[in-house]
Amino acid sequence: MDIRLLDYQSTTAAGQNIHQLRVAIDSQASGLRLNDLDRSDIDTWIGRVSGIEDIDLGPWQSRNNALAALGYQQGSIQENIDKLVSLYGAARLGVVMGSSTSSIDRTESAYLELEDGQLSSEYQQPQVHNPNAPSLFMTHLSGIRGPSMTINTACSSSAKVFATGARWLESGVVDAVLVGGVDTLCLSVLHGFDSLQLVAKNQCMPLDQNRDGINLGEASGFAILVKPDEKHQDSGITLLGYGESSDAYHMSHPHPEGLGARLSMQQALTMANLNASQIDYINLHGTSSRANDLIEGKLIESMFSSNTQVSSTKAWMGHTLGAAGITEALIAVDALQRGVIPGSLNLNELDHELSLSVQSANMSRNMNFVMSNSFGFGGNNCTLAFGKSGEKT
């Protein structure tokens, strides 16, 4: 498979765009803040993106859509989509979005302000109170008129957008695909995870012996996927392979032996025609929960050599749920581009049951191949493998 990334951008609490994210990573400056979400009194840290509240979208108004709009305006994503629409026609471009909550934040507000048991006119937004809202909004914003869909497989949602986008390109349905992910903080999410006793009082510490749970965050991310073509210059990064699996083991707990996670990693390696020893860096799902980090860490130890460096980057922006897949895939891609592996922030003492090649400090390293893991509730797993374009596998 040879699917190129034409462009990519990320918007998180750690940085509004890729440039700001690089600065945060290089300075190891976390974007987490003490919980200040309206109507929430949970003692925790969150990865909240500033300025979303000031974005007015009229009939499309929701926090989720506002963050998607903010992310789409970063860098040259919008400019490149406009060029591709001119080149191929709007019907030959597709949109695949990933989200776990869509615009549930807006629905929460609507129910808080019911008038005689009915939605007020301000909240009568059928295209917003909709599981497919992210895709509907992005087709509206971008002018893309080809196939569109929203994937909701919990925390693997926006990793799977790469797999779907690649299949569309390889089948000839489209000539380019805008893939993205967006999820925003809301009461349903924050208090839901707190009810599962997964939310940490401290800043999260992925892989650390003393980790006590996760921090939640919000993010949007976008990438443009194309086939190699002399008509446009890509970023020099290729999506080489992907793996998708479903444990169907438990609603919220990962399979104790990581069965589906192992399958997704092996599938990605096989499709990419790579041996595990060739992978230079893996961005782990690494949520900072006791179960996730231990199970994923044990799998990495059994499948990869000590030459493969790993880290979790969730302490920079929190666990961004449906946007985590694309956020962390793009961090891995950017690490490949820059030759800088992010450390595992807040790691002081590695879990005593693990012996991974991980450190808290960043590492400079020339790399050829990287991977990113995303494992969601219900056992929905996705692994992505990327390489430098032209690099032999």
For the chain, give every domain's residue range.
Answer: 3-388
Q: Are 367 and 387 in contact (CB under 8 A)?
A: no
Q: What is the residue-level pLDDT of the chain in tens, covering all 393 positions? A: 889 999 999 999 999 999 999 999 999 999 999 999 999 999 999 999 999 999 999 999 999 999 999 999 999 999 999 999 999 999 999 999 999 999 999 999 999 989 888 999 999 999 999 999 999 999 999 999 999 999 999 999 999 999 999 999 999 999 999 999 999 999 999 999 999 999 999 999 999 999 999 999 999 999 999 999 878 877 799 999 999 998 877 666 677 777 889 999 999 999 999 999 999 999 999 999 999 999 999 999 999 999 999 999 999 999 999 999 999 999 999 999 999 999 999 999 999 999 999 999 999 999 999 999 999 877 799 999 999 987 766
Q: Let me know if 155 is a catalytic residue.
A: yes
Q: Which two tokens stand for residue 225?
A: 């996927």
Annotation marks residue 253 as catalytic = no
Nearest to 178 by CA among 383, 373, 385, 6: 6
| DSSP secondary structure code for residue 151 in this structure | E
What stretch of H or E contains 291?
A: helix 290-303
For every residue of 296-321, DSSP letters joined together read: HHHHHHHHS-TTSEEE--HHHH-B-G
- Give the end-to-end CA distance of the chain in Å, rounded to a whole number: 11
**Out of 19, 155, 253, 352, which one is annotated catalytic?**
155
This model's pTM is above 0.85? yes
**Does domain 3-388 bear CATH number 3.40.47.10?**
yes
252 — phi, psi (to 5°)? -130, -15
Active-site residue among 186, 204, 319, 382?
319
Q: Alpha-carbon torsion 224, 230, 235, 240, what sign?
A: positive
The question of whether 255 is a catalytic residue gets the answer no
Q: Which residue in this structure is represented by tokens 């471009």? A: 93
Backbone angles phi, psi at 24, to 5 degrees: -65, -45
Residue found under tokens 């962390």: 328
- The catalytic position among 186, 204, 255, 285 is 285
Residue corresponding to tokens 């089948």: 171
